[in-house]
Structure 1
Amino acid sequence: MSLKENIEVKKVVQFLEEIKINIIEKELGNTFLPGLELGPNCIYIDYEKLLYPGDILHEAGHLAVTTSAERKLVGTTEIPSEWPTQGDEIAAILWSYGALHYLELPLEFVFHPNGYRDQSQWFISNFSSGTYMGLPLLEWMGLCLGKEKAEKEQKSPFPAMQKWLRD
C-alpha cells in the first residue's frame, strides 16, 4: 500500500487542507527530509520518497508558526536566510504535538526514532508528562493558551489549540 493511501497520512492531509495548508503531490529530488519540501503556504510531497509520514506534520508546524506574510515567501529566495529560527523550530515541535493530540495520533507518528537528533524519546517523555518546552512562545504567537490563562478565559489549555495558523 502506498503511503498516500495510509489512513494516518490521509487524516493528516485532510486536516492540513482544512486549516489552509496546501498539500501538493510532486516528484522531488534530494531534500532535507526525504519526500518533503516546503513552498509558499504549501508542502510538496513525493510519496515515493517519503520515509516518515509524521514529518509532514512537523513541516506543517513550520508553516503554521510563521507569520502569514512570511508564510507566502517560504521556499522562495525572499524568505529571510535565518528562517526558521531556533524559536520557530521549538514552536513547530510543540505545534506538531498539539496537532497529534487533536488528530488522536500516537506521539511516535511524529517523534519517530530516526528524527530529532536521537531525542525523540525525550520529547515523548516530556510531552507525556505535561512538560511543554516552548509553550510561552506558542502562546505569544496567539495559537494556544497555557493553563493559567486558559482558566481565566474559561477555555481549554494546551495541547488544545485556539487556532492553527499564526497571523
Structure 2
Amino acid sequence: MQATSIAEEKERLITLLVNFLQEIGLTIRFAAEEEPGFLPGIHIRNGGLSIDPERILYPGDILHEAGHLATLPHSIRCELDGKLPDTDTHRSAELMTLAWSYAAALHLKIPASVVFHEHGYKGGSQNLIDNFEQGRVIGLPMLQYYEMAYDEQNAKRLGVRPFPYMVSWICLK
C-alpha cells in the first residue's frame, strides 16, 4: 500500500504552492471554472490566480502561471483578467517565468520535474531542467533587470546570494 495516494500528493502540492504564493503577495482564490483556460484548472482573474483543484492536471502548472504574474510589473499584473498580455514585456516574461519557476521549486524543496513535467514544455522539460542544473539560466538577464535575482558576478557586487536565490519574488517595478 502506498504511503500517500496520488490524490493526497496532489492536494499536498496544491496547498504548499498556494501558501507560498499567498506569502509572496499574489492573490489566489479557489473557484470552479467551467470555461477552459490555457492550463486546466488555472485562470488569471483580477491580477491573481483562480484555481479549480478538481481540474488541475499537474500542480506544478500553478507555479508556472504564478511566475507569469510575479514577473510582470505591478501596473500590468493588477489589470490582468482572463489572459496574459501579448506584449514584448510578456514575451520576455516567458523566459523569466521559467527561471522563476525553477527557483521557486528549489525554494519549496520540490523536484524541478513537478514544474517542468513531461507533459508540458513541448517535450523539452528535461532539457530545461538540465540547463538550469548546469547553470545555464535562461531568463536571468530579465530577472536582473527587474532586480529580482542576480548572476554570480552581480550578486557578489551587490552583496546578495546568486540565482536561484531570489532577492524579490514579485516584480516591484
* Same fold, judged at TM 0.5 (above): yes
Q: Among residues 92, 102, 111, which one is paired with 2:107 in the alignment? A: 102
Aligned position for 2:163: 158
Q: Map residues 31-70 of structure 1 onto 2, 5 A cutoff.
A: 31-70=37-76
**By how many angstroms is 1:30 displaced?**
1.3
**By how many angstroms is 1:98 displaced?**
1.0
Aligned position for 2:36: 30
Q: Among residues 133, 137, 160, which one is paired with 2:142 in the alignment? A: 137
Aligned position for 1:18: 23
**By how many angstroms is 1:152 displaced?**
1.7
Is the Cα–Cα contact under 8 Å of residues 135 and 146 in structure 1 kept in the other structure? Answer: yes
Per-residue displacement from partner, 1:60-104 (whole Å, max 9, x unpaired)? 000001100111111169x75437732110111111111111111
TM-score, normalised via structure 2 length: 0.88
Change (3 A) 1:4 1:35: farther
Where does the alignment leave 5 or more consecutive residues of structure 1 unmatched? none
Change (3 A) 1:11 1:76: closer
Aligned position for 1:121: 126
Per-residue displacement from partner, 1:119-161 (whole Å, max 9, x unpaired)? 1011011011111012111110110111001112221000000
CA distance, structure 2, for counterparts of residue 153 and residue 22 of structure 1:
30
**Counterpart of 1:44 in 2: which secondary structure?**
strand
RMSD of the alignment, in Å? 2.0
Would you say how many aligned residue pairs link Structure 1 and Structure 2?
166
Change (3 A) 1:100 1:44: same
Is the Cα–Cα contact under 8 Å of residues 62 and 84 in structure 1 kept in the other structure? Answer: no
Is the Cα–Cα contact under 8 Å of residues 41 and 71 in structure 1 kept in the other structure? Answer: yes
**Counterpart of 1:101 in 2: which secondary structure?**
helix
Is the Cα–Cα contact under 8 Å of residues 98 and 138 in structure 2 kept in the other structure? Answer: no
TM-score, normalised via structure 1 length: 0.91
**By how many angstroms is 1:4 displaced?**
8.9
Change (3 A) 1:69 1:3: farther
